[in-house]
A and B are shown apart, each in its own frame.
Chain A
């Protein structure tokens, strides 16, 4: 057990043994998957038409906002070139599915159906449509384990959008909250402030939404204020999540973001 906690070679054993366990995970996931398949297949024509109309409308709106985004992006690149600062290259995304299996009830982890054979690596960030979800902690050939940002062992470097203040967001375990560490009482943070990833630590791409500040309690007796945030990603509810590969892909060790 000490070896597993301290050294990484045990991870290799874990990866290999997890091959044997994949059929079990698949079997447990199967009823849920079948249920979804059935409800998709037996939904009525009217429902499908409605859904299609909705999606078309949303697609149109997104396309319009994307036009503006393209313009802004090129402008941003031009300005950055003027300033001689480095240009952030794009990121590659892959849609994955969350397996309907329960893991350790004391940790906040989920299992996804992509693994080493799809190029998943340890420490890889995960997003959903609303924000940062977590990072990969264990990879198997066909499935991986993801530690959510609300896990008590997870720390994420974040930045307040309004003031540019940098801090660290720690998970709080069972509650769907993050706590912000080392913020002085006069840091000028407000309830409702948006937090984004700061990109420090090099594991998460910068600028993705993490959460909004929900509670700010200045504590005169303590050096730091108590600040809590609600994650913007739908941590417990979604089935589809996105794996991200940043352009400067390196063999991440998962050390910089995790608490030692």
Chain B
């Protein structure tokens, strides 16, 4: 049965219901296009994995597209496609989530798929084996990108204890040894209604949606998940460094600082500070990568890119459940020493640490963030993503307050966050230093016949 809890937020458009089995349902009507989107979120990500099973959450995500009791393996594809729809899923440190967006008349099928996924995926042993090599291929594709490789090593160096230290895709040795039972056990433990949030946004009627949700999910039983092991990362006492020396053409620099979780009072001041340093990205992981941030007048763009030291710079603050990293990344211009780029970046960071930002920078950062919040909510898929994301790491009720919290950030708060977080003892510096022996790809070519 559906338990009505019609508590309205400031914008009065999101309706929340919790089923008896603990499934939290968020519905928002948006009637601008004849579409509907569903996101089903689970509070399980790579931080819930122990050594030996790193990557299990992501692998489980892959397995959950491979048939269920009522969706035979060869009928998975086509259910959403026949409505012109798009489906996908992703796994990260705090969450695993699945989505479909299609014409509104696909809503019942989307809910059906998500209910099946929650309750009865197959985990055929042959499919588990076949997917092992797909995932290793995904890992190796990532390793082809030096920037991604450096990010993985930097994170593993910055964290000693907290499971945020291992990559979401997992370590290769774990991917080679994990078993079907490991996968299935993880699935059965975490894929329960009391660990999930279901978000529906679009050209739908709220009452119809809730009736349909009850029909599809009401019969799924809740189950205790058991204790999670999330040790507190000890305070970092001194700068850490990691250098990857590998063949390549281009050098990369990353500087990571232990940052605040979403619910830490430092979060929004850091968001503003990042906008002043590298330009505002907004806070929608699903949307923000689509357009580059406005950044040409920012401190680090001026110091690194306009000075000719780097060809690109970026900064990343992402809302997370527990304290993660704030990372600054730069691609070193051909012919420039990595050390020079590091020096210039650290100089700019130390300056903001000592002086904070200016009133003009504060105004500009807030303008940027205000605009990005509009841009990143331009589709029902993006709107629904944010509700589910916030609910999974904290509470969806925080989302409507984001604009206010950004507007309320003061110069003093930004300065305090810079002073505290940008201490050298809190940072990890990563280099990707390409070795000189590299032969440019164009120069080493065979004609394709056996040699």
A and B assemble together = no
Interface residues, chain A, with chain B CB atoms under 8 Å away: none
Interface residues, chain B, with chain A CB atoms under 8 Å away: none
